[in-house]
């Protein structure tokens, strides 16, 4: 069989090539995933996740013992995406992501990605929204390829080959990943025709009035022509009038309203880590097998979702010690748990559906339920923590006679020191603060030492 490449300049030129099989038939081969550029806009302040994001970019907060952004990056890199562009706005976003990932060499080694990924960063040019960041970076790096846009703070599973095939089959300019949700009142809901073409988005409809239960998952496959559209005079005029150019609020409505082919593509696994409740829900689901937890070590028992991490000789010794103590019933795990490297757990402690990060010290008789404990935290004896998040380097003093309790979606910022006997109920604490012993706070946000003194019950 004689195979001849006829052309590479179809409507979406980087997407596919036409191969001649004989005089009367051709086969279209869809794009090579390696041609995709992945663009990750990182511009917001993530206020709903404070105090976790008080001093760190949202994509870099710890989730299941690694930065949140690595879940989406690994999902894509393992399918062949090798070129990433971070659209960082502001000093914190840029320095956190550049210092953590640089050009991508360390990330590639960590996840054994070959050939390695390449990461570029937004130059020092101000943008007025996520779509404007896309425009700036496409022009600066002269990107002619199709682009996959994903949010650095989302968790998802997606089959890129299937997404691309759907995009090409529909002749789409933009394909938007859509996730099914029950609580449509919180989202922009897609109004679709029978072919999944998007007619409009309805913002926060009632459950009865929602045109579907599909919402925008913040993942977009863009044909190269989108770059031309966002640079057009008409769009520039729109941006000047609004002083903003965002994918969700501006670009997508513009494309849909002007009749461009914008289609939906359903995905089954998606989490928007926009608030502490969603963070904890995603943690629980990942621990209990709803998605890939991305832990290199095997579970300590074949029928239990319990992982204890350890790579080096020293951390493997600590891992074996924890496993031995668990099998000797010196501490207990109910449900699922992920325990990080070089962590120590005291006797008679109970862990239920929780995550403990690296270098943590957990005292005796500690009770952790559906709680995330970030790295290098120290928790004293008899402390009780439930449905809460502890930041990095947190110290929780607690004794059997004077225990500390933290519960009901409380969020403790990095380097907070809580003295013994405190009780926090649905309370947030900014990084670096120290709470005196015996204090009680309910439904408070402690941002300064004045709050610590004045807001106690």
Please write the tens of the pLDDT for every residue from 39-87. Answer: 999 977 677 889 999 988 999 999 999 999 999 999 999 999 999 999 9
How many whole angstroms separate alpha carbon 414 and alpha carbon 406? 15
How many whole angstroms separate alpha carbon 136 and alpha carbon 270? 28
Q: Report cis status (omega within 30 of 0) of the bond before 398.
A: no
CA distance readout (Å), 354 to 288, 307, 423: 10, 11, 20
* Phi-psi domain of 296 (left: phi exceeds 0; alpha: psi -120 through 50; beta: other): alpha
Do residues 395 and 417 touch, judged by C-beta distance below 8 A? yes
Q: Give the chain's residues under pLDDT 70.
A: 1-31, 45
Indicate whether 310 and 233 sit together in one domain. Answer: no
Which residue, of 232, 256, 285, is where some domain finishes?
A: 285
Indicate whether 62 and 192 sit together in one domain. Answer: yes
Do residues 93 and 153 touch, judged by C-beta distance below 8 A? no
Which pLDDT score is estimated for 202?
82
Residue 231: both structure tokens together: 């640079």
CATH number, domain at 48?
3.90.550.10
Q: pTM for the full model?
A: 0.89
CA distance readout (Å), 289 to 214, 282, 308: 23, 11, 16
Residue 54: both structure tokens together: 């008080």
Provide the greatest CA pair distance for the chain. Answer: 87
Please write the tens of the pLDDT for every residue from 149-176. Answer: 999 888 999 999 999 999 999 999 999 9
Q: Report cis status (omega within 30 of 0) of the bond before 115.
A: yes
Q: Which domain holds residue 72?
A: 33-285
Q: Which residue in 244, 232, 227 sits closest to 174, CA to CA?
A: 227
How many whole angstroms separate alpha carbon 395 and alpha carbon 431? 12
Which residue, of 285, 318, 334, is where some domain finishes?
A: 285
Q: Is residue 27 part of a domain?
A: no
How many whole angstroms separate alpha carbon 220 and alpha carbon 437? 50
Q: Is residue 172 part of a domain?
A: yes
Q: How many domains does the chain have?
A: 2
How many whole angstroms separate alpha carbon 332 and alpha carbon 328? 10
Q: Is residue 44 part of a domain?
A: yes
Indicate whether 74 and 125 sit together in one domain. Answer: yes
How many whole angstroms separate alpha carbon 94 and alpha carbon 129? 15
Which pLDDT score is estimated for 22?
46
CATH number, domain at 324?
2.160.10.10
Indicate whether 186 and 330 sit together in one domain. Answer: no
How many whole angstroms separate alpha carbon 383 and alpha carbon 436? 16
Q: Is residue 303 part of a domain?
A: yes
């Amino acid at each position: 069989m004689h195979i001849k490449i006829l052309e590479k300049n179809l409507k979406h030129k980087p997407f596919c090539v036409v191969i001649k099989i004989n005089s009367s038939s051709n086969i279209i081969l869809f794009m090579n995933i390696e041609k995709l550029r992945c663009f990750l806009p990182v511009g917001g302040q993530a206020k709903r996740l404070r105090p976790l994001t008080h001093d760190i970019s949202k994509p870099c907060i710890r989730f299941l013992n690694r930065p949140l952004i690595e879940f989406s990056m690994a999902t894509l890199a393992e399918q062949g995406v090798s070129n990433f562009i971070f659209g960082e706005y502001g000093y914190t976003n840029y320095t956190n992501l550049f210092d953590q990932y640089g050009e991508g060499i360390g990330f590639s080694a960590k996840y054994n990605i070959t050939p390695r990924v390449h990461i570029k960063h937004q130059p020092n040019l101000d943008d007025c929204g996520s779509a404007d960041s896309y425009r700036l970076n496409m022009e600066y790096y002269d990107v002619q390829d199709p682009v996959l846009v994903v949010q650095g703070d989302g968790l998802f599973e997606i089959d890129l080959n299937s997404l691309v095939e759907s995009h090409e089959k529909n002749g789409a300019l933009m394909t938007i990943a859509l996730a099914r949700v029950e609580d449509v009142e919180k989202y922009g809901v897609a109004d679709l025709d029978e072919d999944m073409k998007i007619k409009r988005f309805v913002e926060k409809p009632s459950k009865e009035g929602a045109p579907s239960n599909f919402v925008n998952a913040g993942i977009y496959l863009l044909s190269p022509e989108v770059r031309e559209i966002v640079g057009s005079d008409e769009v520039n005029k729109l941006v000047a009038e609004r002083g903003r150019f965002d994918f969700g609020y501006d670009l997508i409505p513009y494309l849909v309203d002007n009749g461009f082919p914008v289609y939906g593509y359903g995905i089954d696994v998606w989490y928007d880590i926009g608030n502490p409740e969603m963070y904890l829900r995603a943690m629980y689901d990942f621990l209990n097998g709803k998605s890939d937890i991305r832990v290199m070590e095997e579970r300590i028992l074949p029928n239990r979702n319990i992982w204890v991490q350890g790579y080096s000789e020293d951390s493997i010794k600590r891992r074996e010690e924890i496993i031995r103590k668990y099998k000797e019933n010196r501490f207990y795990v109910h449900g699922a748990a992920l325990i990080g490297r070089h962590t120590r757990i005291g006797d008679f402690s109970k862990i239920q559906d929780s995550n403990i990060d690296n270098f943590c010290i957990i005292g005796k008789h500690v009770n952790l339920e559906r709680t995330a404990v970030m790295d290098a935290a120290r928790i004293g004896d008899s402390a009780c923590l439930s449905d809460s998040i502890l930041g990095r380097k947190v110290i929780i003093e607690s004794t059997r006679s004077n225990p500390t309790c933290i519960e009901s979606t409380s969020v403790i910022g990095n380097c907070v020191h809580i003295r013994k006997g405190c009780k926090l109920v649905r309370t947030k604490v900014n990084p670096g603060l120290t709470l005196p012993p015996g204090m009680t706070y309910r439904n408070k946000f402690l941002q300064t030492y004045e709050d610590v003194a004045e807001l106690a019950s």
